[in-house]
Chain A
Amino acid sequence: MAAVAADALEIDCADRSTREINREIRRAASEGATEIVLLNPAGRHNLAVALFDEITVRVHGDAGWYCGGMLDGGTVVVDGNCGWGVAENAMSGRVEVGGNAGTGAGATMHGGELYVAGDAGSRAAISLKGGAVVVGGSVGYMSAFMMQRGSLIVCGDAGEALGDSMYEGTIYVGGEVTSLGADAVDADLEGDDVSLITTELERCGIDRDPSSFRKIVSGRKLWTFSKKEFEVWKTAM
């Protein structure tokens, strides 16, 4: 995480409504600002949402729910912790969280990258549709549930029912997995996987042996209904 630019515009969240803060970010971006620092976020929700410009927003402290949501370009860097739904539905761009994230980190992301340096809560990368979610710590219960594309890279441990009912996409876990969800299966790590993990971890400044990760993909048994495999469906439903 690079140092703050000297000419960064500072916005004090303490005496502004969330709508005012987000409008000010947009206005500054349209006027050519390249970096904005949000002071006193105090766990406020919906900060730096729906950014469309190539701008860096640094949140100095903790952000609340949906920080960096609907991001389409630009970078959001939170040096504290984040609540539910960080980078939810992001289309492109990058969100970095220095601390922990709550439930649904990177939920329904279509593209771009989310990096959580600490732990992420339950349902990380749920319904992921593209892009990459990298978690330096661990992820909670039912992460990557119904994942459709993209990748989830977990350096620590994963909770129960990882990858439950996933369609496509790939999960990589460096630590222990409490349990795999319905139709999530192990797969062999190949050359492409190693280079993807290497690229993503390098971007996050994490030094880990990529070949030590466990790879999990969809077993594809839930793609089509088969009477012969009724047990699989019974469990999944």
Chain B
Amino acid sequence: MCGIAGILFKDPDRVGPVGRTMVQMLQALHRRGPDSTGVALYGPTEAGYRLRARLQNGAGAGNGQEERARKAIESLATVSELSPTPGGVTATVAYEGDLGELADGVEAAERGLDVLSLGHSMQIVKEVGSAEELDAAYDISSFEGGHAIGHTRMATESRVDTLHSHPFWARPFADIALVHNGHITNEHKLRRRLERRGHTFLTDNDSEVLAGFLADQLERGEDLGEVLERSVAELDGSFAYLVSTADGIGFARDQFGLKPLLMAENDEYVVLATEDIAIRAAFPDDDIHPRELGAGESGSWRR
């Protein structure tokens, strides 16, 4: 099962209620994935990096972990702002260099600190529980931005916790995230290929590998549309996934069309979701016509 959803407002000069839309869509898909919920939200592009990290024991517990997290990040980057979140910390940092080294270094400096996302415009928020619970903890609904993707998870192969929740940051590439419904059966091969090139992964989850696999190609300057199209032949298993970048969203479905994915668009926005129930939760009365994307189909939209 699992449910995935995405929203992109087409006008690059305007922001839309992407947070509220994601909460509505993901809550509607809750029954497809009651284990955990997460979103990758894209706001205005900032000069520094927004670093979101998870603390194993949560912040504000008076155990000094937040202060140690600050020190861990400051050991590698200049922190201009750091605030606690329900599950960890969010920092705005200035940093020049390899993002993999920053993420790995921060985690090595403080045990129990895991970097969830790094980007100029992207923030990943994910927790065990429902979309409404995530919204209550993080006020996702008030977030305005250009686009977002999200996921409700029914775990099948790896553990139920924050780190194994989607979206996965395409570590170590800034602003790239992925949500996936399905199983990638040649995951181990792809994982080894990326690890040989120095990539690290936080989990044993196949979707995290898929995120890295796509981002690795994008970072080498390849076109998003071509990467998505090729992935249909390169990936084994069943999948419907969404990938988000600093300025757009892409999707692909496996060649047998085993995992559902719908798309509807008008002049203002494009919306994608596993089921129409999610699209109608966010846009109940709009004159849009959700269409099931074809088996083996892929595509992308840019703001």
Contacts and interface: CB of A to CB of B under 8 A. Distances in A.
A129 interface: no
A103 B291 contact: no
Contact of B295 (A64, A65, A102, A159): A159
A117 B76 CA distance: 60
A140 B276 contact: no
Contacts of A118: 289, 291
B289 A44 contact: no
Contact of B276 (A81, A103, A119): A81
Interface in B115-131: none
B276 A141 contact: no
Interface string B266-292: 000000000111111100100001111
Nearest to B253: A122
B34 interface: no
A119 B263 CA distance: 13
Contact of A103 (B260, B284, B296): B260
Contacts of A81: 276, 289-290
- Among B256, B275, B281, B295, chain A packs the most CB atoms within 10 A around the CB of B295
Contacts of A40: 284
B280 A141 contact: no
- Among A43, A44, A142, chain B packs the most CB atoms within 10 A around the CB of A43
Given A45-B277, A83-B275, A121-B257, A103 B294 contact: no
Nearest to A102: B292
B295 A122 contact: yes
A34 B278 CA distance: 31
B262 interface: yes
A218 to B, nearest CB: 22
A122 B289 contact: no
A88 to B, nearest CB: 15
Contacts of B257: 103, 121-123, 140-142
- Among B260, B277, B280, B292, chain A packs the most CB atoms within 10 A around the CB of B292
B289 A64 contact: no
A98 B294 CA distance: 20
B284 A140 contact: no
A64 B277 contact: yes
B291 A141 contact: no
A60 to B, nearest CB: 11
Given A42-B284, A121-B257, A140 B277 contact: no
B281 A140 contact: no
Interface in B229-280: 256-257, 260, 262, 275-280
B256 to A, nearest CB: 8
Given A62-B290, A102-B262, A123-B257, A43 B296 contact: no
Contacts of A121: 257, 292, 294
Nearest to B296: A141
B279 A140 contact: no
Contacts of B295: 122, 140-142, 159-160
Contacts of A219: none
B291 to A, nearest CB: 5
22 contacts: A40-B284, A42-B280, A43-B275, A43-B278, A43-B280, A44-B277, A45-B277, A61-B280, A62-B276, A64-B276, A65-B275, A81-B290, A119-B292, A121-B292, A122-B257, A140-B257, A141-B256, A141-B296, A142-B256, A142-B257, A142-B295, A159-B295
Interface of A: 40, 42-45, 61-62, 64-65, 81, 83-84, 99-103, 118-119, 121-123, 140-142, 159-160
- In the A-B complex, list the 10 residue pairs whose CB atoms are closest, starting with the nearest: A121-B292, A43-B276, A43-B277, A141-B295, A122-B257, A43-B280, A42-B280, A102-B292, A122-B295, A62-B276
